[in-house]
A and B are shown apart, each in its own frame.
Chain A
Amino acid sequence: MFLALRELSFARGRFALMGSVVALIAVLMVLLSGLSVGLVNDGVSGLKKLPVSSFAFEAGVDESAAFTRSMVEIDKAEMWVDVPGVADAAPFGLTLVNTRTDRGVDIDLALFGVELDSWLLPTAATGSDLSGPGQILLAGTLADEGVAIGDVVVVDQIDKELEVVGFVDGQHTFGHVDVGYVDLSTWQEIRAGARPGDEVPNHVYRWVTAIAVLNEGDAEPDVAAADEMAGTTTMTLEESFGASPGYTAEVMTVQMIQWFLYAISALVVGAFFTVVAIQRRQEIAVMRAMGASTGYLLRDSITQSVILLVVATAVGLGIGLALGAGLSATEMPFALYPSAVAAASAFLVLLGLVGAAFGVLRVTRVDPLTALGASR
């Protein structure tokens, strides 16, 4: 500590420069963390809020497009209810539609079709619950966008009219589109493209997107056997996120940027401390000749890099959080979770230390003989 602190203050210009780089990377990390959480929420918050353990899709469905491709017969819900460890199972419909309200507001919607008495149906935070066909219960965020209770939402092309009866609390989205809950039969008609007044063939009411399954407590039902029996392909709720449009690509892109930043940070910090170590060679040799142990020299250098990294990351974190607070208030898909931000910061410091270690470890290779005679 003795030398580390004095060197930090003596060469403060140099250390401040390095610290700024780390701080800027920390700012970026915070923003990326917010963006990543925001994108996840925008992609699957509607799914996350379902009280569901897993979805049973059509057997052999393309897993990356399960929600749009899958068609399952409605009676498979009863087969799933009987599976040991399953508390309940219910038919679930999902389809994306373009709509316009009678007041001229264009909204894209992910329609979740559920039975009116289903455990899947959320209760309204404002207005009233879904109670019949031709009604729609909308995501709370739409209330801010000029949609009000009593409005009529008209589905493009088929001119199906849905009356807004209420809003559920908070953000419910799927594939960056707000969620609207409708009665399952209404959903089936829309999915079939039936216009009002059309004769709807009976088989339309036999199909849904998937069977939503709720496990009993911590029970883990034998999914493979159940799939075999019911002729379905089951994904857990988390696995099904990947079936939200763009979800996997977005999450991977952001994650890749994050990993690159970690690597860049570690390399830059490593390069910096390597240069510092080379510059201090003579100094280190003198200290070794004076009898400084390797432990002492390592401790001193590591203390220095820890102080630099922690202070710089903390400063960057502060700036990033301030910027993030601003961003959260905008349209951007952005949300800061303390745990995600803390993990990113800790990782930044940790990887920075790994980088610094490469430079710092050089002190162990300095020969105290170098101190004798300036010529060598």
Chain B
Amino acid sequence: MTTTTTETTERVGLMMSGVTLLHADGENEVRALDDVSLTVRPGEFVAVVGPSGSGKSSLLAVAGGLIKPDAGRVQVGDADLVTASKRDLATIRRTQIGFVFQSANLLPALTAIDQLRLPLTLGRVAEPRDPMQMLEEVGMADRADRRPHQLSGGERQRVGIARALMTRPRLLLVDEPTAALDSKRSQEVVALLAREAHKHGVATVMVTHDRDVLHHCDRVLQMTDGKLAPVDEV
């Protein structure tokens, strides 16, 4: 490994350049991502807004190694997601990437504390966080033994965020975390995301429809028909 890559590793959380993603839609093709370039530094909290069907989830899918782009480069830390094999991608996701899903997507059988233990059972983790400490950090320590159906939507989302951070990922991808929450809970959850991103130096990309939470973000990007552009006004 050369010094340059090591430096890049330290400065880059996510780097996408010239990424194009096509979806076959019957006869014609849909350009879900059209020549998208995006670099997110460690600790930077970026929001992506845009109309429905503009390609926001596609962006997260490509950045998270769930789908390979038709063109362009995608790099998370020092891992190249375009050339990686399926098996390697799973390992990269497990060790370098955290996902927070729209409805938290917790496992119904697991208590809050076990939700956090789960990612550590999937394979070897270099520097795992302490599950109880992490729960405390998101203010859920007193509900450690509750299962998802005994938690409110906001509480579930907090557990989901804590779970995504257990393996100290370089990149956190968040898909509409506030969709199911009222405005007060939304503010709390996004503030928590901003705090975690800054505190732990995690490059964070959040897709949202909710314009009221954008003031927590360092940068806001607009997605339109698969094209990504900066937004000046927050």
Q: Do A and B come from one complex?
A: yes
Query: Chain A residues in contact with chain B, CB under 8 A?
Result: 2-3, 6-7, 9-11, 282-283, 286-293, 296, 368-369, 371-374
Nearest to B91 among chain A residues (CB) is A291
- Which single member of B66, B87, B122 contacts A368 (CB below 8 Å)? B66
| Dominant secondary structure at the A interface | helix
Number of A-B contacts defined by CB within 8 Å: 86
User: Cβ of B117 < 8 Å from any Cβ of A?
Assistant: yes
User: Cβ of B107 < 8 Å from any Cβ of A?
Assistant: yes
Give CA–CA (A289, B87) in the complex, Å: 12
Most buried by B among A283, A296, A373: A373
User: Cβ of B175 < 8 Å from any Cβ of A?
Assistant: yes
In the complex, are the beta carbons of B118 and A369 less than 8 A apart? no
A363 → chain B closest CB, angstroms: 13
In the complex, are the beta carbons of A293 and B107 less than 8 A apart? no
| Dominant secondary structure at the B interface | mixed
In the complex, are the beta carbons of A283 and B107 less than 8 A apart? yes
Give CA–CA (A282, B102) in the complex, Å: 12
In the complex, are the beta carbons of A369 and B122 less than 8 A apart? no
Contacts of B122 in A (CB 8 A): 287, 290-293, 296
Other than the given A6-B110, A290-B122, A372-B101, 8 more pairs (CB < 8 A) read A2-B114, A7-B109, A10-B109, A286-B107, A289-B64, A290-B93, A372-B175, A373-B176
A13 → chain B closest CB, angstroms: 13
In the complex, are the beta carbons of B101 and A293 less than 8 A apart? no
Contacts of A3 in B (CB 8 A): 107, 109-110, 118, 121
- Which single member of A2, A290, A368 contacts B117 (CB below 8 Å)? A2
In the complex, are the beta carbons of A369 and B102 less than 8 A apart? no
Give CA–CA (A7, B61) in the complex, Å: 28
User: Cβ of B95 < 8 Å from any Cβ of A?
Assistant: yes
Contacts of A372 in B (CB 8 A): 57, 60-61, 64, 66, 99, 101, 175
User: Cβ of B123 < 8 Å from any Cβ of A?
Assistant: yes
In the complex, are the beta carbons of B108 and A292 less than 8 A apart? no
User: Cβ of B92 < 8 Å from any Cβ of A?
Assistant: yes
Give CA–CA (A2, B110) in the complex, Å: 10
A73 → chain B closest CB, angstroms: 77
Give CA–CA (A3, B92) in the complex, Å: 22
In the complex, are the beta carbons of B95 and A286 less than 8 A apart? no
Contacts of B102 in A (CB 8 A): 373-374
Most buried by A among B60, B90, B99, B147: B90
Give CA–CA (A349, B90) in the complex, Å: 33
List 6 tightest A-B contacts by C-beta distance, closest first.
A291-B94, A10-B109, A291-B93, A7-B109, A2-B121, A286-B105
- Which single member of B92, B114, B123 contacts A296 (CB below 8 Å)? B123
Give CA–CA (A10, B108) in the complex, Å: 8
User: Cβ of B119 < 8 Å from any Cβ of A?
Assistant: yes
Contacts of A291 in B (CB 8 A): 90-95, 97, 119, 122-123
B171 → chain A closest CB, angstroms: 12
In the complex, are the beta carbons of B99 and A290 less than 8 A apart? yes
Q: Answer whether A289 and B118 are a contact pair too, CB < 8 Å, given A10-B109, A10-B147, A372-B57.
A: no
Nearest to B97 among chain A residues (CB) is A291
Nearest to B106 among chain A residues (CB) is A286
Q: Answer whether A290 and B119 are a contact pair too, CB < 8 Å, given A6-B110, A371-B105, A372-B101.
A: yes
